[in-house]
Every structure is written in C-alpha cells, then in structure tokens.
Amino acid sequence: MAYGVVDDLTVGSRTPLLSLKPGDIEPTTKGKNIRDPQLQNALCVATKGKDGKDLEQALRAFSEKDSPYQGLRRVRLIETLQKSARVEIGETEKGKPLKAYMGDSNYCSELWKLPNGKIEPKVVTTYEAHTGIERRPHPAAKRILRIFKKDMVAIERENKTKIYFVQKLDRANGLFLAPHKDANCDARYRDKTDPFKFLQMGSGTLVKSKIRRVVVDEIGCIRDPGPLKI
C-alpha cells in the first residue's frame, strides 16, 4: 500500500468512506486516525455501536445528510510510520518524498517453474518491486503465476471450484485465503471466541489445487481463465 508522507514520523492514506472499519473511526494512539479531528468526532457519533452492514448504512447516511460533510466519499487517515521503517519513492517539486511503503511489506507472491520442472515460490517485497529489477530464481525460470493481496482466486477443493480472496502474503507460510463472501476476516481470526480460520496454502498445495486469479465484472459475473497450464 502506498502512503503519502506527512513528516518523519507520520504517513497518510485515503480510504473510501464506506470501507471504514470501527477501528479506523475510534480515536487511538496505536493505529490509524482520521486526520480531521472534527470529522472523526462526527463519525464516532454517527456510527457508535455499529458494525458490518449497520456500519455501512450509517456511513452512507452520514454522507447523504445535510451537513458540511455531505457528499463525502473518501477519508484521509494518518498513522505512525517512522522514516527508518519505510521505503520512500520518488520526489516532489519541493524535494519531499512522493510516496512511501512499509519497509517490510510484501508486494506480491509468485510461482516460478524451474528448468527441471520444479515449482518454486517467491514473495516479492514492496522495496524489491520498486527497484525495477526482476529477480528470477534461475535465469531460465518461467513465472507461471503472480498474486497480490486482496486478489480473488479460484481453487479446486473437495471436487468443487471455490472462490477466495487473498488476505495475506507470507514469505514462510504461503498464502492465507478467506472465502470471498466472508467479512471482517482479520478481526474474526484474532477473536479467540470465533471459530473462523484462514485457509493456509503453501506452493505445493497451491499447484495441486490449480489456483488461478479470477476477475469479477461490474455485474458480479466471475471470469475464470481455468487452471494453470504447467
């Protein structure tokens, strides 16, 4: 995720109003905060005690209400990200960084086919991606798949084609997937009282399950290119 640079300790990002979560709205000293304190206070009042669809409806009503925030579509969030912990890219006319990324963030996950037929996984960090240099595991290796966080994917599981979205990319543990109809997955995963679990898949399992990226068009139809040809 790209951030705008506020100062040496703080970065900012823009988020669609309807995508806000309770944790984005409530004031905090550890996570994200809405940059405009008056807007943050107004949203706290409008969404107090609401979650899920009720929260979305409250946010929609907030943007439609006759107020200084009528028509609001996106919200500016700020959070702490020290200069030493981020990768800064580009430069503005005033000499400031154009944007920044978390130094340890992952850009994408790839599967490469080596000349001997072996499939090798590779997680590309955000920093590596912006160097512009492609690092192949072998000079003759062929990339057969590239997946980004929040991509929708199809896999063959229990003799059925199932659709998931990518919640997390991990260098050591592969992909963490969640059913595409589920919401608040990260919070549910952290909640010890919730039985929800991510589907964790390493490179071997990904190949066996015939994973591939799929696209959902404007009318909700899934465009599935079919299993990878390896």
Q: What is the mean pLDDT of the chain?
A: 88
What confidence category does residue 178 fall into, taking pLDDT thresholds of 50, 70 and 90? very high
Residue 103: per-residue pLDDT: 67
Tell me: do 191 and 161 sit in the same domain.
yes
Residue 91, Cβ density class (10 Å: 0-12 exposed, 13-18 middle, ≥19 buried): exposed
Residue 184: per-residue pLDDT: 87
More confident residue, 77 or 229: 77
Q: Give the end of a domain, one of 37, 71, 101.
A: 101
pLDDT tens, 86-143?
Answer: 778 788 888 888 888 776 678 899 999 999 999 998 888 877 787 777 888 899 999 9
Once rounded to an integer, what is the mean pLDDT over residues 194-199? 92
Cβ-contact 31, 11 below 8 angstroms: no
Tell me: do 118 and 211 sit in the same domain.
yes
| 152: its two tokens | 């929708």
Q: Give the end of a domain, one of 81, 101, 121.
A: 101
HSE toward the beta carbon, residue 3, CA cutoff 13 A:
26
HSE toward the beta carbon, residue 98, CA cutoff 13 A:
5
Q: Which of the residue ranges 45-49, 192-196, 216-220 would you say has the lowest mean pLDDT?
A: 216-220
* 31 located within any domain: yes
Q: How far apart are CA 147 and CA 30, in angstroms?
A: 30
Cβ-contact 94, 82 below 8 angstroms: no
Q: How far apart are CA 221 and CA 200, in angstroms?
A: 26
Q: How far apart are CA 1 and CA 23, in angstroms?
A: 18
* 150 located within any domain: yes
* 41 located within any domain: yes
The domain of 20 spans 4-101
Residue 109: per-residue pLDDT: 92
